[in-house]
Amino acid sequence: MTATHCPYCALQCGMTITALGSEITIAPRTDVPANSGGALCQKGWTAADLLTNGERLTTPLLHGRPVAWETALDYVADRLVAIRAAHGPDAVAVFGGGGLTNEKAYQLGKFARVALGTSQIDYNGRFCMSSAAAASLRAFGMDRGLPFPITDLAETDVVLLAGGNVAETMPPFVRHLTGPRLIVIDPRRTATAKLAWLHLQPTPGTDLALALGMLHMVIADGLVDEDYVAARTSGFEQVRTSLASWWPERVERITGVPVARMREAVRALAAAGRAAVLTGRGAEQHAKGVDTVTAFINLALALGLPGRPGSGYGCLTGQGNGQGGREHGQKADQLPGYRKIDDPAAREHVAAVWGVRPDELPGPGRSAYELLDTLGTPQGARALLVFGSNPVVSAPRSAHVTERLDALDLLVVSDIVLSETAARADVVFPVTQWAEETGTMTNLEGRVLLRRQAVPAPEGVRSDLEVIRELAGRLGHRFSAEPREVFDELGRASAGGAADYAGITYERITEETGVFWPCPSPEGPGRPRPFLDSFATPDGRARFVPVEHRPAAEEPDEDYPVYLTTGRVLAQYQSGAQTRRIAALSKAAPEPFVELHPDLAEQLAITAGDVVRVLSRRGESTGLARISESIRRDTVFMPFHWEGANRLTNPALDPTSRMPEFKVCAVRVEKIA
């Protein structure tokens, strides 16, 4: 029996794996706070099926044909050398994933900058956490999803959750919300909203206006924690002035949320002894996502929540290593330790660990969508290496992204199955997965955990770290493929950075059931609540930042009269590359659907079970109609686990985070005869 963690979301629930011959069984652990009491969701309980799935890749593919590992590696290395020689180092790009271990994320960033010499690296976490990360950095000087242990939530009196559906995306999380009053902001009456004491149902794309209106009420009703604001923050007067025009009735007209319900939410938060404000993708995946999260942070600061025991602001990280994956070098503008790549001191420190000169390191590259958008063009990369991602399904305006992938001179994918992206690749490397390898993950609390190898990998399969080592070696660089060695180097590279792992070891993780970063010293503790005494800003104060609401990048009109919003369902995960191959999960959620309100369905002569077509300015998709009063009359919902929903979505980007506007666009809905 091996103690490890779930392969899915950022809760990283604890589980044990027992392998007896070909039979593999999973049981929950009770010593991991994230799933305290031993909870697992349907995906976690069926995770063993990932290890025995009949669609598993076990042989490298070259133009669709099985070949030996050395043949595939030599081919890729030769093509990379030729493309770099003909077009320069930035003609090669790397696209990573938020599910990769810390060791892989770190090594991938090093591989891009040192072995390839390219600035063109980003990852699918740009589509997940980037808006909340940018807002947290400018408010608190640090981005850690939850800057407090998840168990603190059970001690709060009120929790405001904006744009998150944890009952379906990470069900064990709900156990931490059984104590407080729950306020949910969501255009749909989701499974989470049904558990709430109060549900605010705004028009898609208006969360920012709602947050501004709620803060206006806090100020107008004299509910600001003036002592906290004076002692622990800066910039409040500018925010106070900027809110003068956001009176409640104006906000009701924009959002559709009644003033009385807004006031009820505000007064509950203000009256609570302990309260928390949490944001999820629904509030963040917008072209104004950073400002939206900032508005909710401003609300939390005005109420005196961040940095107080049992209170605070937090962001619900989505992917399994969405937190750690953005800390150590996969992002286009970052070096390990959450350092900025254009910071001379950061470059000098990391270059010394890597054994290169600072001036040899490239500068910032393109963000995820911008990288994908320019593939195969004179301005973009001509070769792309993909590790742990499936952009054919997950990228906005996905039909266009697929065209760009097909325009490449070389596409290489490292994956466990033949995903929609891998199916288009020139070379596919079959790699190990969660229980077949050892590595660390950083969950949504900032707790670094150890996922241990529990079963041997299938014959013919290698790890991502081995793939990186072999390619780097062919390009003249020595890289380690031993997870512990890579993690120790990660610690040295991150030392002194915002996300300092220098004091974390595999032994400490095991002894302490995970270690919180920052942890700069092996002798010192991690910091589960880093904001208790001060914030990570130069003056130790949290910053209020004035923001203004603006409409969605695309509003409904005569041709496309309905809002589309997208999201997840309980039985599927991310692009579905894993979960759609598990029989029990496919039976529970077998195909895409379009959720409509009964009034809209009647207007369009659509009945439940009809096949409907949804069209946007970027493409079209189909699904079975589901009729539900849980959604607004002006909105339809589609899950994004299947190829189709993201053909519709808008790649309009947030100016700061470069997050695409996944959560709102204008569509037309038609019944297919």
Query: Which residue matches tokens 């590259």?
Result: 365
| Separation of alpha carbons 548 and 238, rounded Å | 12
For 178, other C-beta atoms within 10 Å of its C-beta total 10
Q: 3-state SS of 595-645?
A: EECHHHHHHCCCCCCCEEEEECCCCEEEEEEEECCCECCCEEEEECCCCCH
**What pLDDT score was predicted for residue 37?**
81
For 65, other C-beta atoms within 10 Å of its C-beta total 9
Indicate the pairing of strand 334-335 with strand 339-340: antiparallel
Q: Which of 317, 196, 319 is nearest to 575 (CA)?
A: 319
| Separation of alpha carbons 303 and 156, rounded Å | 14
The CA-atom distances, in angstroms, between 229 and each of 20, 268, 541, 599 are: 59, 19, 9, 46
Q: Are 341 and 32 in contact (CB under 8 A)?
A: no
Q: Are 286 and 664 in contact (CB under 8 A)?
A: yes
Residue 652: which pLDDT band, with cuts at 50, 70 and 90?
very high
Q: Which of 662, 574, 10 is nearest to 325 (CA)?
A: 10
Query: Cα 304 to the chain's mean position, in Å?
Result: 27
Q: Are 592 and 610 in contact (CB under 8 A)?
A: no
> What would the pLDDT profile of 558-615 be if each residue is shown by its tens digit?
999 999 999 999 999 999 999 999 999 999 999 999 999 999 999 999 999 999 999 9
| Separation of alpha carbons 275 and 258, rounded Å | 22
| Separation of alpha carbons 160 and 182, rounded Å | 6
Query: Which residue matches tokens 């999960």?
Result: 585
Q: Are 356 and 362 in contact (CB under 8 A)?
A: no
Residue 140: which pLDDT band, with cuts at 50, 70 and 90?
very high
| Separation of alpha carbons 230 and 232, rounded Å | 6
Residue 20: which pLDDT band, with cuts at 50, 70 and 90?
confident
In sequence order, the β-bridge partners of residue 596 are: 627
| Separation of alpha carbons 659 and 239, rounded Å | 24
443 has a pLDDT exceeding 80: yes
Q: Which of 653, 652, 656, 493 is nearest to 136 (CA)?
A: 656
| Separation of alpha carbons 193 and 188, rounded Å | 8
Please return the burial class of 378, using the count of CB atoms within 10 Å of its CB with bins 0-12, 13-18 and 19+. Answer: exposed
Helix (H) or strand (E) segment spanning residue 596: strand 593-596
128's tokens = 């997940």
673 has a pLDDT exceeding 80: no
Average pLDDT over all residues of the chain: 97
Query: Cα 327 to the chain's mean position, in Å?
Result: 12
> What would the pLDDT profile of 608-645 be if each residue is shown by its tens digit?
999 999 999 999 999 999 999 999 999 999 999 999 99
Phi-psi domain of 214 (left: phi exceeds 0; alpha: psi -120 through 50; beta: other): alpha
521 has a pLDDT exceeding 80: yes
Q: Which of 57, 60, 7, 96 is nearest to 389 (CA)?
A: 96
**What pLDDT score was predicted for residue 22?**
80
Residue 54: which pLDDT band, with cuts at 50, 70 and 90?
confident
Q: Are 564 and 660 in contact (CB under 8 A)?
A: no
**What pLDDT score was predicted for residue 495?**
98
**What pLDDT score was predicted for residue 489?**
98
> What would the pLDDT profile of 163-190 be if each residue is shown by its tens digit?
999 999 999 999 999 989 999 999 999 9
Q: C-alpha angle with apex 606: 603 to 609, nearest 5 degrees?
A: 155
The CA-atom distances, in angstroms, between 310 and each of 242, 298, 304, 515, 652 are: 30, 18, 12, 20, 37
Q: Which of 556, 664, 671, 571 is nearest to 623 (CA)?
A: 671
Phi, psi dihedrals of residue 589, rounded to the nearest 5° = -140, 85
Q: Span 516-543, mean pLDDT?
A: 96
279's tokens = 């944001």
Helix (H) or strand (E) segment spanning residue 66: strand 65-66
Indicate the pairing of strand 23-28 with strand 61-62: unpaired
* Percent above pLDDT 70 for the chain: 100
318 has a pLDDT exceeding 90: no
36 has a pLDDT exceeding 80: no
In sequence order, the β-bridge partners of residue 665 are: 564
Q: Are 666 and 555 in contact (CB under 8 A)?
A: yes
| Separation of alpha carbons 570 and 316, rounded Å | 16
109 has a pLDDT exceeding 90: yes
Q: Span 652-673, mean pLDDT?
A: 96
The CA-atom distances, in angstroms, between 510 and each of 250, 386, 454, 513 are: 53, 31, 15, 5
Query: Which residue matches tokens 């500068």?
Result: 363
For 6, other C-beta atoms within 10 Å of its C-beta total 27
The CA-atom distances, in angstroms, between 273 and each of 279, 304, 524, 564 are: 20, 10, 31, 38
The CA-atom distances, in angstroms, between 38 and each of 41, 101, 170, 345 are: 10, 23, 14, 45
Before 518, cis peptide (omega within 30)?
yes
Q: Are 305 and 275 in contact (CB under 8 A)?
A: yes
| Separation of alpha carbons 389 and 372, rounded Å | 12
Phi, psi dihedrals of residue 636, rounded to the nearest 5° = -120, 155
Q: Span 160-165, mean pLDDT?
A: 97
The CA-atom distances, in angstroms, between 306 and each of 145, 179, 219, 276 are: 13, 20, 18, 8
Domains and CATH numbers, the chain: 2-52 (2.20.25.90), 61-128+321-516 (3.40.50.740), 131-316 (3.40.228.10), 562-671 (2.40.40.20)
| Separation of alpha carbons 359 and 489, rounded Å | 21
**Beta-carbon-side half-sphere exposure of residue 356 (alpha carbons within 13 Å):** 18
Q: Which of 12, 664, 603, 49 is nearest to 323 (CA)?
A: 12
| Separation of alpha carbons 3 and 511, rounded Å | 13
pTM (2 decimals)? Answer: 0.97
338 has a pLDDT exceeding 80: yes
Burial 497-530 (b: 16+ CB within 10 A, else e): bbbbbbbbbbebbeeeebbbbbbbeeeeebbbbb
